[in-house]
Each structure stands twice: as C-alpha cells, then as structure tokens.
Amino acid sequence: MSTAPPDAEELGRRVDAFLAEHDPAATEPLEFLRARFDAGLAWVHYPQGHGGLDAPRALQPGVDRRFREAGAPTNQPERNGIGLGMAAPTILAFGTEEQKRRFLRPLWTGEEIWCQLFSEPGAGSDLAALGTRAVRDGDHWIVNGQKVWTSMAHEARYAILVTRTDPDVPKHRGMTYFVCDMTAPGVEVRPLRQITGEAEFNEVFLTDVRIPDEHRLGEIGDGWRVSTTTLMNERVAIGGAAAPREGGMIGVVARLWRDRPELRTAGLHDALLRLWVETEAARLTGERLRQQLAVGKPGPEGSAAKLAFADINQRTSGLELELLGDDGLRYDDWTMRRPSEVDFTRRSPGYRYLRAKGNSIEGGTSEILRNIIAERVLGLPGEIRVDKDVPWKDLPK
C-alpha cells in the first residue's frame, strides 16, 4: 500500500532516527553512505528503493544540511559530478528497474566514478553529427570510434556513451545511448594536456568494445532524446549549483580586495562591484531555477545559468590578475598532473585564470547555449539547417 511522501518535519525525524542508529563518528564512511542510500535519504526526491522517498526535491538541501551539521561523511561530489549530475538523472528517466538497482547505489556512494563519452573530434557543438558506430551482434553491440574532452575518464568505472547505430537516417534519429564499462577490452584512455599544464581531460579510443544490450538506455535509435536529458542536467549541474553569497570566484576576489588595500584603484573598484552584483543576480536566479526543478524536469533555463557562470567566472578571474599585477603572472605548477577534481578556490590565481577559459567550452559552448536560449526561451526563429532531413551517411565528413 502506497504512503504519502514525507514532508520536511517527517524527513527531519527520519534523519534524526538514522543518525541515532548510525553514529557518523563510529561508522565506517562507506557503510554509512550505503545505509543512507538504503534509507531513502540520498536523493529524497528519487523513488523509494532507489535512494529516495518520493519527497519534494526542494527538501533535499535541508536533509543535506542536517547530515553536514552532524559531521556525516560525504560522497565527495566533486569527484563524481558527471555521475551525480548527469548519469544518475538519465538512468532514472530511461533506465530499466534492473539498471537502476545496479547503478544508482554505487554511483551515489562514490564507489563507481562516471564519465561522459559524447564529444568527438568532428562532433562537439553539433553532437548529432557523431560517428562512433555501434553494430548489433546478438545480445551485444560492438562499438568503434573516438571520443574527446572526456573529464575523469582516467578514473571512471563507467561512462554514459552515445553512438551511431543507423547511418541511413538523418543524424538526430540514428543514435543509441549506452552505459559503457571503462575497464572493458578495447577501451583506451589517453591524457590531453591543457593550458593549465594538467591533464584533467582525455581522449578515449573504442576498438571493438563489446557492450551488452542490457546496458542500453532507452530505445534503439532514440539516443538523441536520451542525450538531451543528460545535457539539460549537465548545464544545470555546472551553472545552477547551489552557492552561498560570495561563494566561488567572487568570494576569492572580494577577500583579496578587503585584505590588500594597496591593490585598490577606483576603476577596479567599479569592476568588482559590477561583477559582485552580476554574481549575486546569477546566484538568486539559480535558486529560482532549482525551485522550478523541484516540480519538474530541467529545461533550457539551465543553458542560461551555465552561460552566465562561464562569462562571470572568466571576467572575475581576469579581474583578480589585474588586481595582483605582476604577482598574478606567477604559476605554481606546470607538472602534467592528473587531477581528480576542478578546484577554483584553493589554487593559484594563475590556475584560476587559465582554467576558467574552458568554462565557455565544456558542457556546451557559449555560442550554442545562446542559440538554445534564443530559440527555446525567447522564441526567436531558428537557424537554417540544411542537413535536417539528410541521412547521416550522406553528410560531408
């Protein structure tokens, strides 16, 4: 017999009861996280049995705050942003019950890190032009192709993968979406050195990789619709993440301004105030976006949030270098490290400035996001697309 979803008061009682039974100071972290998932206190808005209690999404921050105040271990979301922000909602929307049971729990606990195999050398902004082929072979698919700009591929256990399964139909209709085992034979990960000197991104080569059909998400040929769900969640995850006032880059620069009065000039004061106001407006807009998410699915508004994030982050990191002058030109480490997270606040000003350049590319270029906002939010005429009805195999390569 079904029961009504819990309200904030009931959720509070459940958290208190859970903490009484699982002392954070005395419980092994992984055991604690697994138990929290099983109690439905991981994603409270997810269905029962999949880490949630069918509660309103808006109640999640309150639950997280109670666990944080109790000193509970976290699932290190900074290491698994793709899994938590993109793979999980896609699996929830399109996965079978068996897939949800298999993947969601170890994804949330951080036992299995995820990456995203979408972009290709010839299909970045135009994802539907991708050419990685998946050919049916009985109960399996054989995949061949190359993906690029893949964050965390060097640590990932699984990947969300979109492929071309039918080259004889227009590009948006012949795609199929899979979960790919990154330890499978034929998967090769190579580092890509970035402007920061690090290798946070990768290129991934897939050579005769066998993927069981039971790891397909959605219907054959419906990969574009599944991918769109992933991309909308990705932009919300990047640009619409919850942040306190003066969180992120603006907080770093505001503290620098307060602590180093000798750096202040009238012109830079005006620039800082303008960026502070823009950052606060974007933060409050993000709050409203998350409230909308609480009652539905992410829409094109996430593209605006991500666009604003990229622009403000780049200009704020640039202002920090202007304030520091010669000191801002120093860079602390050119070693080709393989980082497990992107951290803007605990690194050097030089790193922040260089790394922010990627914000307008990753997760959808700013140019593409402006097109989405123009067409889907403002209702402006769409760009002319002459390849809309052309079979993929006949497109120029």
Active-site residue numbers?
Answer: 234
Euclidean distance between CA atoms 18 and 39, whole angstroms: 8
Contact predicate 313/275, CB 8 Å: no
CB 164 within 8 A of CB 220: no
Unique residue bearing structure tokens 């990229």 = 310
Cβ proximity of 36 and 18 under 8 Å: yes
Cα-based angle 51, 54, 60 (whole degrees, multiple of 5)? 70
